[in-house]
Structure 1
Amino acid sequence: MLLLRQPQTPPDPAVPRVVMIGNFDGFHRGHQAVAQAALNVADSSNGVVWLLTFDPHPRAFFSPTGAHNALASPAVEARLAAAIGLAGIYTMNFDKALSSQTPQAFIADNIVARMQADCVVVGHDFRFGQGRAGSAETLREHGGFRVVEVDAFADEGGQTVSSTRIRSLLSKGHLAEANGILGHRYFVIGTVEHGEKRGRELGYPTANIALDAGSALAHGIYATTVKVGETVYPSVASYGRRPTFGDKPPLLEVHLFDYSGDLYGQQLEVAFHSYLRPELKFDGVDALIAQMDKDSEMARAALASAQPLSQLDQALGLVHANVLAA
């Protein structure tokens, strides 16, 4: 999959190009419905699908002091897009010049000239151009290409699926519900960095990964799996400030059950399967180790019956391979 950023130019399409436009943070089930509509069009025309997206998020540009906690980093977004079946992602710089473009100019400069779209697929609430004046109808009137507008996606309870709702669920430790709305397990990608080596002293060596400061993930203990290269390992993870040893910046610490080796500097994919308990402060090391033993048992039990949540979850390959083979 090609990852391009302005001012790069996408290659001339040798096949019809279907372009889906927007910020698809987390690629939840609503986003997947838009992507599937785009893939259906591409399949019918032997074409390919590109995502045209923006950085920073327009909301962050217009309200730079507000909270704009992304569900997915660019690396996670690219991993999801590839698993869904997109051919490429083109990221435009959202700045004053772009925000000031009229809808007609945006269509001419970016959708027609830059992306050379044969079809554009957008969600029901898509707006673009100066003052958010552009809509799907504007695309139809001024584009000269096919336009597909996808209806709002609601879950089984009739609630609209949104990234905001998922962030709220994650912040409260409601991981199972968040994963159900995502349609895949929430996961992060990060590089292992050196820490205080305290986990090793406690008998639980960990791979330490710093998450974005605005991460919505609740502090606590999780049953997780970790992808190292092409191998997936069962694991237990702690995310938080480590209050037993003083109040520190939030850190993700992951203990891989069936792994021995040096992970420093490696990029890992950590998938969150179950929220086990909130972060606690213990009176001493012995009490902490006893709880870590219990946490490990709970994590192993939670992972023993893990199965992919969807075809996308299976394509991501973040479920322990030994479980799937059982």
Structure 2
Amino acid sequence: MAATSERSGNLFVAYQPSEIPKLSQPPVLILGNLDGIHRGHRALIEKSRQLAGGSPVMSAEVTTEPPRAAELMKAPTWALTFHPHPAEVLSPSRSLQLLHRPTHQFQRIFSFENQRALLEETGVNGIYYHHFDQKTAAQEPEEFLNQVVWPLFHPAAMVVGFNFRFGRGRHGDSHVLQEWGAGKGVSIHVVPALHWHGQVVSSSNIRESLRDGDVRDANELLGFPFFITGQVEAGERRGRDLGFPTANLARPSTLLPKEGVYATRVHVASAIYPSVTHLGAAPTFHDSHQRIESYLLDFKGELYGQGLKVEFLDRLRETRAFTKPDDLKAQIAKDIQRAREVHHEFTGF
């Protein structure tokens, strides 16, 4: 990650304490990892914007009375999050304790660049990436609040999720925050769990759905289609030889859905094309290299070097080997037909 502040559209991004600009008044501060900017995170952001604008809020969140409520009128909204993600430092390889799943290397849902783009869409004014390491993890909760949060922001209010934990041993919780806030005159707002279609909206549940290839479920929890971005690079040209030229993207370091063939949408400049995207190896050609290959329906032109955004709508099938290329071509034709149907059925969120 870069070490200097920047602007991402209307979003101010700071990586060092010295880069946080002087604010005109105490901000409303969102505290959390915000990996995903999913429906739950957007509930935090909406709460912060309601507080910042002074509009009445009707919700079930736990809150302390705001002694500095007058200062919340038109206050800036900022997010304080961590880089790297605490899980990358504390438990880089952890097991999902469900259905005897194997251990997974922790991966972010979205890159920092895409996280910032999503945050900008919400209207948040700024984000500060606080460096997280073993020293940060060893801080007592009150030490973190008094040595980081208070001197950097002097917030008028803070918004956190129901399950946010911080400080040594994850001892910092909403009770610690409320006690600290009462002493500082900072109103603390704890947004309850958001349930969607019978399950709690959380980054962990989204990761699990993506690893299962259930992008429909992940998209419901996110509130928008899961996506990746990247630049088109040269491939093996097998798709072109089969009559289905593909755009090949480098594998990102962030999480990808389970290997398979997906109905997707690809953004090229200002246009959106229905597409079929293959994630994984090419067993028909005895190639174990993991690839991301998208075939854009109805597209004509050159894509090499262009930046693409690939949105995942549904998993069509698993990756498998075919006896001969003609069998693969026939299956791709079926994939294209189904992808068109998925694209036409998609109505957004």
- TM-score range relative to shorter protein: 0.7 to 0.9
Change (3 A) 1:96 1:40: same
Q: Is the 8 A contact 1:19 1:121 kept in 2?
A: yes
Residues 291-300 or 62-71, more deviating: 62-71
User: How many positions carry a matched residue from both structures?
Assistant: 308
Matches within 5 A, 1:10-89: 10-44=20-54, 45-66=73-94, 67-89=105-127
Q: Is the 8 A contact 2:232 2:303 kept in 1?
A: yes
Distance apart, 1:270 and its partner CA = 0.8
Say which of 10, 13, 38 aligns to 1:3.
13
Q: Distance in 1 between matches of 2:123 and 2:216?
A: 25
1:114 corresponds to: 152
2:187 corresponds to: 146
Please tell me the residue identity of whatever aligns with 1:29. R
Distance apart, 1:115 and its partner CA = 2.9
Please tell me the residue identity of whatever aligns with 1:84. T
Matches within 5 A, 1:265-304: 265-304=305-344
1:198 corresponds to: 238
Q: Which runs of 5+ in 2 are unaligned?
A: 1-10, 55-72, 95-104
- TM-score, length basis structure 2: 0.82
2:274 corresponds to: 234
Please tell me whether residue 218 in structure 1 is matched to residue 258 in structure 2: yes
Q: Distance in 1 between matches of 2:142 and 2:209?
A: 38
Structure 1: which 4+ aligned runs deviate by more than 3 Å? Answer: none
1:183 corresponds to: 223
Per-residue CA deviations over 1:233-291 (Å, capped at 9, x if unaligned) read 22111111111112423221111123233322322111111211111211111111111
Change (3 A) 1:109 1:96: same
Q: Distance in 1 between matches of 2:137 and 2:209?
A: 31
Residues 103-112 or 17-26, more deviating: 103-112
Q: Distance in 2 between matches of 1:117 and 1:169?
A: 36
Please tell me the residue identity of whatever aligns with 2:284. T
- TM-score, length basis structure 1: 0.88
Which secondary structure state, in structure 1, belongs to the residue aligned with residue 258 of structure 2?
Answer: coil
Q: Is the 8 A contact 1:19 1:120 kept in 2?
A: yes
Which secondary structure state, in structure 2, belongs to the residue aligned with residue 192 of structure 1?
Answer: strand
Q: Distance in 2 between matches of 1:15 and 1:256?
A: 49
Please tell me the residue identity of whatever aligns with 1:39. R
2:57 corresponds to: none
Per-residue CA deviations over 1:131-189 (Å, capped at 9, x if unaligned) read 222222322333422211111122232x2222222222222222222211221111111
Change (3 A) 1:43 1:82: same
Q: Which runs of 5+ in 1 are unaligned?
A: 310-326
Q: Is the 8 A contact 1:60 1:68 kept in 2?
A: yes
Q: Which has the higher strand share?
A: 2
Q: Distance in 2 between matches of 1:102 and 1:170?
A: 34
Q: Is the 8 A contact 2:110 2:254 kept in 1?
A: no
Q: % of aligned pairs identical?
A: 38
Per-residue CA deviations over 1:53-108 (Å, capped at 9, x if unaligned) read 11222122112344212222212211221222222221111112212222222112
Q: Distance in 1 between matches of 2:322 and 2:18?
A: 53
Please tell me the residue identity of whatever aligns with 2:119. A
Q: Distance in 1 between matches of 2:92 and 2:253?
A: 15
2:164 corresponds to: 126
Distance apart, 1:26 and its partner CA = 1.4
Please tell me the residue identity of whatever aligns with 1:51. A
Change (3 A) 1:115 1:189: farther
